């Protein structure tokens, strides 16, 4: 799939030793964006689920389109203090400290089946926090989907350890 060649790699950003995978080059390319979206649409069009949940902020780009095309509801998971109503919160570890994501308490009904989408799976911190939020609200996770997976950082293994299925369109291993 030609998605990988459309993702720019920026060495030493945001700090030395990091190979940053920049999906903005994929998103600005109409052919690349179409391939990316059609892949997700084809993967999920026959799956039994109710809601697309997207993680702030690049997950919104894919999640909104996916929900619209598949006729599903859309629920955002936002960074702390960005949602206006009562929220459920989940803290997760960063390299130096912690961060928090939130979902509205009334975003899901118990037993609703969801697909969670985000742009990138690295250490799995944000993804696992999103999973825990969905579980707190009684939702059932069908799959967590990503454009990019960085398997060397262990996020995929963490999701598997929790019994969570995931899908990534491309992987960047060992580079």
| 59 sits in which H/E element | helix 58-70
Question: How far apart are alpha carbons 115 and 30 in whole angstroms?
Answer: 24
Query: Which residue from 20, 17, 21, 19 is spatially nearest to 5, judged by alpha carbons?
Result: 21
Query: Which residue from 167, 104, 83, 96 is spatially nearest to 125, judged by alpha carbons?
Result: 96
- Catalytic site residue from 38, 88, 91, 95: 95
Is 21 considered catalytic here?
Answer: no
Is 8 considered catalytic here?
Answer: no
- Catalytic site residue from 43, 58, 140, 162: 58
DSSP 7: S
> Which sequence positions are flagged as catalytic?
58, 95
């Amino acid at each position: 799939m030609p998605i990988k060649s459309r993702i720019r790699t920026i060495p030493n950003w945001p700090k030395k030793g990091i190979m940053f995978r920049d999906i903005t080059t994929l998103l600005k390319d109409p052919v690349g964006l179409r391939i990316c979206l059609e892949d997700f649409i084809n993967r999920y069009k026959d799956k039994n689920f109710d809601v697309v949940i997207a993680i702030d902020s690049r997950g919104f780009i894919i999640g909104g389109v996916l929900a619209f095309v598949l006729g599903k509801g859309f629920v955002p998971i936002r960074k702390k203090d960005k949602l206006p109503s009562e929220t459920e919160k989940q803290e997760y570890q960063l390299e130096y400290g912690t961060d928090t994501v939130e979902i509205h308490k009334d975003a899901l009904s118990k037993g609703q089946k969801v697909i969670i989408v985000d742009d990138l799976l690295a250490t799995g911190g944000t993804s696992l926090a999103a999973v825990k939020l969905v579980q707190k609200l009684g939702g059932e996770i069908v799959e967590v989907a990503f454009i990019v997976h960085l398997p060397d950082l262990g996020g995929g293994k963490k999701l598997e350890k929790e019994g969570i299925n995931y899908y990534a369109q491309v992987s960047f291993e060992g580079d």
